[in-house]
Structure 1
Amino acid sequence: MRDPSFAEDADPFSYVINAKDRSVMEMVHEALNANRVTLAFQPVIGAATGETVFHEGLVRLLDDTGHIIPAGQFMGVVEAQELGRQIDCAALRCGLGALARHPRLRLAINMSARSVGYPKWMQVLKRGLSRDDTVGERLILEISETSAMQVPELVKTFMADLQDKGITFALDDFGAGTTSFRHLKEFYFDIIKIDGGFVRGCDRDPDNQCILDALVTLGQKFDMFTVAEKVETKGEANFLASVGIDCMQGYYYGAPETRPSWYVPPGRMAG
């Protein structure tokens, strides 16, 4: 039987792509409904000490065979949908659970600024904070620069309201968006994570070197902790340390892992 969504004059290649997209979105819905959600943990390393300062917990959705559904196939699509808010809820729930099971863990969780006004996301956050007094001080909420600038006033109010909970805020992918100096000064961000596009090949690229030097200086002027994303080589790491970056994150230091050696799964508590 012909698929009713297939128009007679449709491009067959486009039809195949659209059908694949629908299949991926169905898997995403099913994964959320079945709670097949986990985090992949990637270390963030101190440039001066070489030790782990905190981890980023990257949300992973699993299909019915237990394989990870590639995030690149759906995250951009769901950003403006309620499905994106549901994924943020699931990620936060996993992150709060990991913090409760690992008393010494400090963890960053990604969120969209759109989730600030989503009641279910706020319920998850408040519930997690009320269950453990130490969670707020160990939780880092990462908001991308592009996302934050869509609703800057809402984000600023949200951050101000949570200041007394001890939560740390990170501006993700800094340099890739359009943050004005006025907004940067008014936000409550404690950390700026410099976009990996400026990190790639920075030990050989004079343009990236100039930009990185300026971004690090900017972070210092605003008293914000600086993290370089997507560090993949020793040369990049050495250059970043030389310009005063505080921390580095990327495959050079470790890939995201769903079961790192220190991890305690749900239902158990760390000894």
Structure 2
Amino acid sequence: MLEALPSPVLLIDRADRIVEVNEAFCRLAGQDRDYWLSTPIGAYLSPDQLVRFTREHAQVFATGEDLETEEVIDGHDGTVRQVVTRRRRIVFDGEPLVLTILTDITALREAESRVRHLAYHDSLTGLWNRAALNEQLAAALAEGGPAQPGLFVIDLYQFKDINDAFGDAVGDALLQAFAYRLAGAARGSDRVARTGGDSFAVLVEHCPDAESAEAECRRLLALAHIPLTGPAGDVTLGISIGAAWAQPGIGADELHRQAEFALYEAKRQPVNECRLFDAALAAKVQARRLLEADLRQALAAEDQLDLHYQPVLDSDGYRVVGVEALVRWHHPKQGMIPPADFIPIAEACGLIVPLGEWVLDRAAAMMMRFPHISLAVNLSPIQLRSPEIAGRILAILARHGMDPRQLQLEVTESAVLAMDSSVEAALARLRSDGVQLVLDDFGTGYSSLSHLHKLAIDRVKIDQSFVHDLGRSQDARAIIQAVLGIGQSLGIGVTAEGVEDETQKLFLSTFGCNEFQGYLFSRPLPADDAAAFLKSHAVREAA
């Protein structure tokens, strides 16, 4: 029986002597069975490992309780292996023994490490990405004190024209060259990130006032006057900069918003301009506050809000397996306002909880006609922290007679990292009733495999930015392959967002992705159009 097991196995007696091993252990340790039956276990372990082994071995004998640990061991070939060691006290032929099984998780941890690195760094330039920058900004603000940070966001001027004229390869080379220059100009305490296609940011540790911010802007603007050398020759890139510095009581999100407001104003000026967040821009922020008031009225009246549904299809690209409900706002004066504009407002002012419940209520009513497909709705981090969130969600489903197993709640990686015990308890209650948890935009932040295990995530969604970059980024392909591999290893379903062409679908299918969402299949549709789409496509029956 031991020889039939692929994992290394040892039987060890109370005196720490090996009484039996299987061939898998012999291959790992590099000696035959006879050697190990006559050799102390300490011959295979370092002094520190031996102390830990002896302590844990004695614990299992003393308590009779199973013990599971993760550790690093040396293979006979010089490789370092990460293993999970499981110990159980047994009685064999009248003798108490400890059954020890080693499971090699080296490949799994290497995949996790690569996903972590790629998730915090921009794949093209090697700079930090937006998620990493936001974490550092939040940490700098939390420290307080006189050395308050300044945030400088940078956009390249008409970079799209360069891409269109010379191609992506030239554009990528210029982005790398500019990133190298920006990083080279950074001082020791500065943090430099690429936050978008042609967008960068610099976090300056000490920027207490407007004078300091103006000096930093001049220093950064000087970088734009030096030509960059690329495949198409020397190119001078124009830049625009928006700057904001911390004031007492300001948070990371507000500081970022102020810098982005300033950048928007800078881009309306001639190239190579910088704009500081000031009183005039603060007035524009006030206009945002007015939009908040309009959103409150829209939510109360319900006549401006609507739901669109984007189908999720199976691997054949025809059978519908679910839909994602997406809210839309038809403002009476401003027309259609994108969710990216009003969802952050709803989160900031506390409207996201009633808005989220309105979305679920309206979508659950729609799904009464389609009980055999899943419904995905986004769950904001603010909603997750709302008291009794689990009870309110289940009450909405019960009101419409919707099976909880039909619902998928999509949460972001940042929400997972910010979870406390009360949130975990709420999610556990929802899962116990059959609700599925989906980790949205997987790969854009960092969520370790331990979180996937701890929260029992049912599915992850590959962020559409990686799918979009499939054709030109080796790192995008590497991330997608790693995510799909992790999903298969852990038995977690994977859905790809933003699938727009058959080439992307073929690549994803080849590596095991079997659910797709994107314009290749359908745009988000109003309720009546979505119902017609669902009726015209085969619907997978519920298991």
Same fold by TM (over 0.5)? yes
| Corresponding letter in the other structure for 1:31 | A
Partner of 1:268: none
- Measured after TM superposition, the shift of residue 74 of structure 1 is 2.3
Partner of 2:293: 26
| Corresponding letter in the other structure for 1:18 | V
Q: Is the 8 A contact 2:368 2:401 kept in 1?
A: no
Match of residue 226, structure 1, among 484, 494, 503 = 494
Q: What is the identity percentage for the equivalent residue pairs of Structure 1 and Structure 2?
A: 27
Q: How has the CA–CA distance of structure 1 residues 63 and 56 changed in structure 2, closer, same or farther, with 3 Å as cutoff? A: same
- Measured after TM superposition, the shift of residue 152 of structure 1 is 4.8
2:389 is equivalent to residue 110 of structure 1:
no
1:55-204 pair list within 5 angstroms: 55-64=323-332, 67-119=335-387, 121-122=389-390, 124-204=392-472
User: Where does structure 2 lack aligned partners over 5 or more consecutive residues?
Assistant: 1-276, 533-543
The farther-off stretch of 53-62 and 93-102 is 93-102
The farther-off stretch of 58-67 and 197-206 is 58-67
Q: How has the CA–CA distance of structure 1 residues 163 and 79 changed in structure 2, closer, same or farther, with 3 Å as cutoff? A: same
Residue deviations 1:128-165 (CA, integer Å, cap 9, x gap): 23235543121111111112221153343222212332
Q: Is the 8 A contact 2:467 2:496 kept in 1?
A: yes
Residue deviations 1:13-58 (CA, integer Å, cap 9, x gap): x256324423322221111011233211001111245321100001
Report the secondary structure of 1:188's partner residue: coil
Partner of 1:52: 320
Distance 2:352 2:521 in 1: 29
Distance 1:131 1:26 in 2: 30
Distance 1:34 1:22 in 2: 19
Partner of 2:184: none
| Corresponding letter in the other structure for 1:22 | R
Distance 2:333 2:279 in 1: 32
| Corresponding letter in the other structure for 2:394 | K
Distance 1:76 1:195 in 2: 19
Residue deviations 1:226-253 (CA, integer Å, cap 9, x gap): 0111112222122111111121111121
Q: Is the 8 A contact 1:174 1:194 kept in 2?
A: yes
| Corresponding letter in the other structure for 1:118 | S
Partner of 2:39: none
2:306 is equivalent to residue 38 of structure 1:
yes
Of Structure 1 and Structure 2, which has the larger fraction of its residues in strand? 2
Distance 1:152 1:42 in 2: 31
- Measured after TM superposition, the shift of residue 101 of structure 1 is 4.3
2:523 is equivalent to residue 255 of structure 1:
yes
Distance 2:287 2:506 in 1: 42
Partner of 1:269: none
- Measured after TM superposition, the shift of residue 96 of structure 1 is 1.9
Distance 2:449 2:501 in 1: 31
Distance 1:242 1:262 in 2: 29
Q: How many residues align?
A: 255
Q: Is the 8 A contact 1:31 1:64 kept in 2?
A: no
Q: Is the 8 A contact 1:110 1:142 kept in 2?
A: yes
Distance 1:117 1:87 in 2: 15
Residue deviations 1:149-195 (CA, integer Å, cap 9, x gap): 21153343222212332211111111112212211211121110111
The farther-off stretch of 210-219 and 230-239 is 230-239
Distance 1:119 1:19 in 2: 30
Q: How has the CA–CA distance of structure 1 residues 147 and 81 changed in structure 2, closer, same or farther, with 3 Å as cutoff? A: farther
Residue deviations 1:76-114 (CA, integer Å, cap 9, x gap): 243344112222122122222222344344211111133
Distance 1:159 1:39 in 2: 25
Q: Is the 8 A contact 1:113 1:155 kept in 2?
A: no
Partner of 1:3: none
- Measured after TM superposition, the shift of residue 261 of structure 1 is 3.1
TM-score (norm 1): 0.83
Distance 1:10 1:149 in 2: 33
TM-score (norm 2): 0.44
The farther-off stretch of 112-121 and 197-206 is 112-121
| Corresponding letter in the other structure for 1:175 | G
Considering Cα pairs closer than 8 Å and 6+ residues apart, tell me whether 1 or 2 has the greater RCO: 1
- Measured after TM superposition, the shift of residue 212 of structure 1 is 0.6
